[in-house]
């Protein structure tokens, strides 16, 4: 890899109030390993302080010094969707693209066709559905993500949103900030979660972490996954296994979605599936927005079939101002922040640095980071994804800035 490479990095915008002059905390906890024993990202070195804002354009994932000292070029932008975007201008001669799920650079088949030099697509985080994996396979592009870097971050967010929905926290907070003390109004949709049936769709790293964190709330736990958990785990958490999603949703009051987006899960939660849920159920979706049909979710919220919908993911991202979920009743959505806490940023920035170090030196990239390699699904990709394309949507995302 001795030739000069052009790295095109797409990150979200800096804070509208400016970069923090200081941070709320002086440091973040140092973790030695992930819950399953997988080692933390292990680059040779880093050029940032863990706990800093790294995911916005000024943070640059802490990569500029390393990349330029290695003789390569780094382009960082947030302009990724509109026609003639900075991303599109630089893509034809880029060899590496780095993007976050929170502000994805949609690598469609059309864009890949215009990028003959593209050899590596890195997700700074987890979830590579913004890349047309089928096209990456056909064009021998390696696709990587920093597996496990923010799984616990997302699990914590999901638990927060489960409780926020069932206890109806957001309207109660709004009464306080508006100067009210309207207790009857505040509790008119608030319930205890104790004794409810709570299920997760896909019990991988994130889903299993949610199940573990929900157990102390004395709920009945359920899950469905194409890879069944070991009997010892089911016994320890007192889990009920469901062979399909229909059985899961029919038997739960709360469903938390944690499966990847691929052709088999696209629009999985449509009107038909939601109609099989218990009336007044809740859905939390911290996986991918396109797993849920946005119109079906809104209709169910309006009819009362769903008592609430929360999540952290939309389609497209960013969503236009007129996206139907923005004004849907009884929602508790956030702008895909679950996996980009300052703690998570330190891990996925380190993971990207590790991947680049391997790439430039010709060393093998960790198997758990691989999604596509050598013209086929590989590593984590072979375990979790299906070949195919779910990336369309960049044109819709381009409406975000024009509608603001």
Q: pLDDT digit string (tens) for 112-170?
A: 999 999 999 999 999 898 999 999 999 999 999 999 999 999 999 999 999 999 999 99
Average pLDDT over residues 246-269: 95
pLDDT range class, residue 79, cuts 50, 70, 90: very high
Q: pLDDT digit string (tens) for 288-302?
A: 999 999 999 999 999
pLDDT range class, residue 402, cuts 50, 70, 90: very low
Please indicate whether residue 157 is annotated as part of the active site: no
What pLDDT is attached to residue 2?
63
For residue 399, pLDDT beyond 70: no
For residue 403, pLDDT beyond 60: no
Peptide bond into 316 cis (omega under 30): yes
Q: Catalytic residue, from 222, 262, 288, 366: name it.
A: 288
Q: Catalytic residue, from 134, 150, 172, 373: name it.
A: 150
Average pLDDT over residues 266-288: 97
For residue 404, pLDDT beyond 60: no
CA 49: distance to chain centroid? 23
Q: Catalytic residue, from 336, 347, 353, 366: name it.
A: 336
- In angstroms, the CA 51 to CA 30 distance is 11
pLDDT range class, residue 388, cuts 50, 70, 90: low
What pLDDT is attached to residue 326?
97
Domains assigned to the chain: 6-149+341-379+386-402 (3.40.50.720), 151-333 (3.40.50.720)
The three-class DSSP label of residue 96 is strand
What pLDDT is attached to residue 83?
84
Average pLDDT over residues 268-279: 98
For residue 86, pLDDT beyond 50: yes
- In angstroms, the CA 158 to CA 277 distance is 19
Q: Catalytic residue, from 100, 285, 305, 317: name it.
A: 317
Contact between 11 and 76 (Cβ < 8 Å): yes
Please indicate whether residue 288 is annotated as part of the active site: yes
Please indicate whether residue 317 is annotated as part of the active site: yes
For residue 80, pLDDT beyond 70: yes
- In angstroms, the CA 256 to CA 258 distance is 7
- Predicted TM-score (pTM) of the model is 0.93
For residue 379, pLDDT beyond 50: yes
Q: pLDDT digit string (tens) for 185-204?
A: 999 999 999 999 999 999 99
For residue 264, pLDDT beyond 70: yes
- In angstroms, the CA 164 to CA 156 distance is 12
What pLDDT is attached to residue 1?
45
Radius of gyration of the chain (CA): 21
- Three-state SS string over 255-314 comes to EEECCCCCCCCCCCECHHHHHCCCCCEEEEECCCHHHECHHHHHHHHHHCCEEEEEECCC
Q: pLDDT digit string (tens) for 26-47?
A: 999 999 999 999 999 999 999 9
């Amino acid at each position: 890899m001795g030739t000069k490479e052009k790295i095109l990095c797409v990150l979200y915008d800096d804070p509208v109030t400016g970069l923090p002059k200081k941070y709320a905390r002086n440091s973040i906890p140092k973790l030695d390993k992930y819950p399953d024993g997988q080692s933390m990202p292990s680059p040779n070195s880093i050029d940032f302080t863990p706990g800093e804002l790294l995911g916005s354009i000024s943070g640059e994932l802490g990569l500029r010094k390393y990349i330029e000292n290695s003789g390569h070029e780094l382009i960082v932008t947030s302009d990724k969707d509109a026609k003639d975007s900075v991303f599109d201008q630089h893509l034809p001669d880029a060899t590496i693209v780095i993007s976050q799920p929170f502000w994805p650079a949609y690598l469609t088949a059309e864009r890949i066709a215009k990028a003959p030099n593209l050899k590596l697509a890195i997700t700074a985080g987890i979830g590579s559905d913004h890349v047309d994996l089928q096209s990456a396979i056909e064009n021998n592009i390696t696709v990587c993500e920093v597996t496990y870097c923010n799984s616990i971050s997302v699990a914590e967010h999901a638990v927060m949103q489960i409780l926020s929905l069932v206890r109806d926290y957001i309207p109660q907070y709004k009464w306080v900030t508006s100067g009210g003390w309207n207790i009857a109004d505040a509790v008119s949709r608030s319930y205890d979660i104790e004794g409810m049936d709570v299920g997760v769709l896909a019990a991988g790293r994130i889903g299993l972490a949610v199940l573990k964190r929900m157990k102390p709330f004395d709920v009945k736990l359920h899950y469905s996954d194409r890879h069944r958990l070991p009997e010892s785990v089911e016994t320890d958490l007192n889990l009920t296994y469901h062979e399909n999603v229909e059985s899961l949703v029919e038997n739960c009051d709360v469903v938390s979605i944690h499966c990847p987006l691929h052709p088999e899960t696209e629009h999985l939660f449509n009107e038909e599936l939601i109609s099989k849920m218990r009336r007044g159920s809740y859905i939390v979706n911290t996986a991918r927005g396109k797993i849920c049909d946005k119109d079906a979710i809104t209709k169910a919220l309006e009819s009362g079939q769903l008592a609430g919908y929360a999540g952290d993911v939309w389609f497209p991202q960013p969503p236009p101002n007129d996206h139907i979920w923005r004004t849907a009743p009884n929602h508790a959505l956030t702008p895909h922040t679950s996996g980009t806490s300052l703690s998570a940023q330190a891990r996925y920035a380190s993971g990207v640095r590790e991947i680049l170090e391997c790439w430039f030196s010709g060393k093998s990239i960790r198997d758990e980071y691989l999604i596509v390699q050598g013209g086929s699904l590989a590593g984590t990709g072979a375990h979790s994804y299906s070949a195919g394309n779910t990336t369309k949507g960049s044109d819709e995302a381009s409406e975000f800035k024009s509608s603001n």
